[in-house]
């Protein structure tokens, strides 16, 4: 009887494992993972143009880890690619400000302030490689004594979060605040 019970548990466990889905990264590799949806679901129109601006301003407390908010922004991009929207139909901008400004620091500056290299560096590289704009607030830079050389290469600098976001919204971007 005990053997049959163990065998039954092994079968159930094997079936459960075989049906477990691997997380996929259709564009931004290694970040913003997407759970495959194996059933019919509503999807965005692949012919439409999608323009998003995501503001990241909440406290980034664990400076040893990739910022969850930045990973979530990568997920938003990956979800659209997974759903069938071509890359050329997606324009994403991420505006970093206030307590999240450390995300945008160059490795040398990050190391001076937090005794390690920027854990967001590889994700920033992936975002930039995928044509995603990353913009840092100049007001936040000034409040935190950051100069242009202190910012990660490829990140744009704006006068402020407000001017960056309103300019993008004027160009048709939809605002998301994380």
Query: Any idea what the CATH number is for the domain that residue 135 is in?
Result: 3.40.1260.10
Q: What is the pLDDT of residue 70?
A: 97
Neighbours of 60 (CB within 10 A): 21
Strand partners for 34: 24
Q: Looking at residue 3, what is its pLDDT?
A: 58
Its domain, for residue 91, covers 60-178
- Which pLDDT belongs to residue 13? 45
In a domain, 7, yes or no: no
Using CA atoms, how far apart are residues 31 and 74, in angstroms rounded to an integer? 6
Number of folded domains in the chain? 1
Check residue 59 and give its pLDDT: 86
Q: What are the average pLDDT values for consecutive 10-residue runs of the chain, which has 178 residues? A: 48 46 94 96 96 94 95 98 98 97 98 97 98 98 98 98 98 92
């Amino acid at each position: 009887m005990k053997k049959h019970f163990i065998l039954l548990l092994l079968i159930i466990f094997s079936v459960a494992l075989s049906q477990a889905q691997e997380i996929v990264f259709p564009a931004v590799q290694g970040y913003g993972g997407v759970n495959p949806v194996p059933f019919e679901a509503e999807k965005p129109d692949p012919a439409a143009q999608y323009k998003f601006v995501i503001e990241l301003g909440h406290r980034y407390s664990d400076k040893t880890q990739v910022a969850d908010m930045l990973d979530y922004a990568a997920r938003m991009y990956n979800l659209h690619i997974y759903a069938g929207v071509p890359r050329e139909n997606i324009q994403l901008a991420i505006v970093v400000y206030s307590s999240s400004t450390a995300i945008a620091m160059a490795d040398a500056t990050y190391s001076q302030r937090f005794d390690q290299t920027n854990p967001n560096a590889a994700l920033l590289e992936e975002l930039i490689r995928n044509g995603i704009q990353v913009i840092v607030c100049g007001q936040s830079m000034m409040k935190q004594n950051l100069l242009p050389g202190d910012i990660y290469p490829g990140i744009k600098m704006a006068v402020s979060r407000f001017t960056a976001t309103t300019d993008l919204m004027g160009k048709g971007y939809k605002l998301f605040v994380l």
